[in-house]
Amino acid sequence: MEETYSTTTYERLLISQLRWKKRILKLLDKGKQKVSFVLIPNNEKALFQVEISLGMLVFLSALSAALIGLSLVFLVYFSFFFQHNLSLEKRTETQLTSFLFYDLLSQDLTESVQDLEHATEDLNQLAWDQIPEKEMITQDYLLKEEFEKDETQLDSNLNLYKNVVTTYKEFGVRLGNLVPNFQNAIDYLSMRESIFYSMPRGRPLKPGVGVVTSTFGYRSDPFGILPVGEYHSGIDFAAGEGTPIYATGPGVIGDVDAAAGGLGRSVRINHENGFFTLYGHCSQVLVAPGDKVKRGDKIALVGQTGKATGAHIHYEVRIGLDAPLDPEEFINLD
């Protein structure tokens, strides 16, 4: 009678493990086998041979197939199943339009700032006849903003964007209001400059020439006729006869009096803004009515015509029909 032998579960598992191990080792041995690829060039050069293991070839083939399959899946999905987020696209277009608008606004602000810088230089030129080195508007006087690297302060880019846009709009409005106000100041200073340079300034004689012999206001009568004195409406400069007399401001020659009494031979120059000046007791007048003169042009020569006790020039400054002004105030403008 034959004896039967039954295997236990452990033995069956051990036998199965050995079989799989044998199969795996067999596959590994096959994977180590080399596969050669021969590349045949068109010219007569030597053949180029590439060797690769069978296992590596299988791995690369599987990887290529997986990538091709994944690509096909994405292609089908985006071609037939993917739906665009229309609200997101609309919001993106709106933001893009807004950014373009503020980009144009930044260009306008840049040009306005440049215009203000040039106007500031002109303002300095008017005020001080020179331009200080960046003493009015420089980057040293501007607030320097430094961002901290604390991410909790930048939780929302959208809120940051809104804050920047709001501040930018306010800055644009303030700068837009500043430009006309600044321009009004420039126009006002320019007008004042025009008035100043059109006014009579300085002495009717060259610097250092002539001596003041009679000032503006009440004085005793130089001829001794009036015991209470008289009102002198100008300043007298004594100088040698024939000394040149110069216009103290730009203007047009008005009256030229050649009479022997009063101021004798005299010249009147009409200036802008109602000013006019008188030059009396001249020995000779070198201009004619209607002539245009500049400040410093020679208009007459010192003499003693009219009511005079010696060679001198009587100089007056007036505005319209008002009482004469003290010429000393205008002489000292320079």
139 pLDDT band (50/70/90 cuts)?
very low
Is this model's pTM higher than 0.75 or not? no
Selected residue with higher pLDDT from 236 and 15: 236
Structure tokens at 268: 């009147």
**Residue 229: what pLDDT?**
65
Distance set, CA 62 to CA 20, 54, 56, 121 (Å): 23, 12, 10, 76
C-alpha torsion angle, residues 58, 62, 64, 68 (rounded to 10): 150
Choose among 268, 270, 257: nearest CA to 306: 257
**Residue 101: what pLDDT?**
79
2 pLDDT band (50/70/90 cuts)?
low
- pLDDT, tens digit (0-9, with 9 covering 90-100), for 142-172: 444 444 445 554 455 566 566 667 777 777 7
**Residue 278: what pLDDT?**
94
**Residue 143: what pLDDT?**
44
**Residue 193: what pLDDT?**
80
Give the whole-number percent of the chain exceeding pLDDT 90: 23
pLDDT exceeds 50 at position 218: yes
**Residue 157: what pLDDT?**
55
Write out the H or E segment, with its range, that includes residue 245. strand 244-246
What's the average model confidence in pLDDT over 244-249?
Answer: 95
Question: Is 320 buried (19+), middle (13-18) or exposed (0-12) by CB count in 10 A?
Answer: exposed
**Residue 294: what pLDDT?**
93
What whole-number distance in Å separates Cα of residue 210 and Cα of residue 224? 24
**Residue 137: what pLDDT?**
43
Identify residue 278 by its one-letter amino acid code: L
What whole-number distance in Å separates Cα of residue 295 and Cα of residue 202? 10
What whole-number distance in Å separates Cα of residue 251 and Cα of residue 269? 6
276 pLDDT band (50/70/90 cuts)?
very high
89 pLDDT band (50/70/90 cuts)?
confident
Cβ 34 vs Cβ 54: under 8 Å: yes
DSSP-H helix ranges across 136-273: 157-198
Displacement of CA 324 from its chain's centroid (Å): 47
**Residue 6: what pLDDT?**
67
Structure tokens at 67: 């990538």
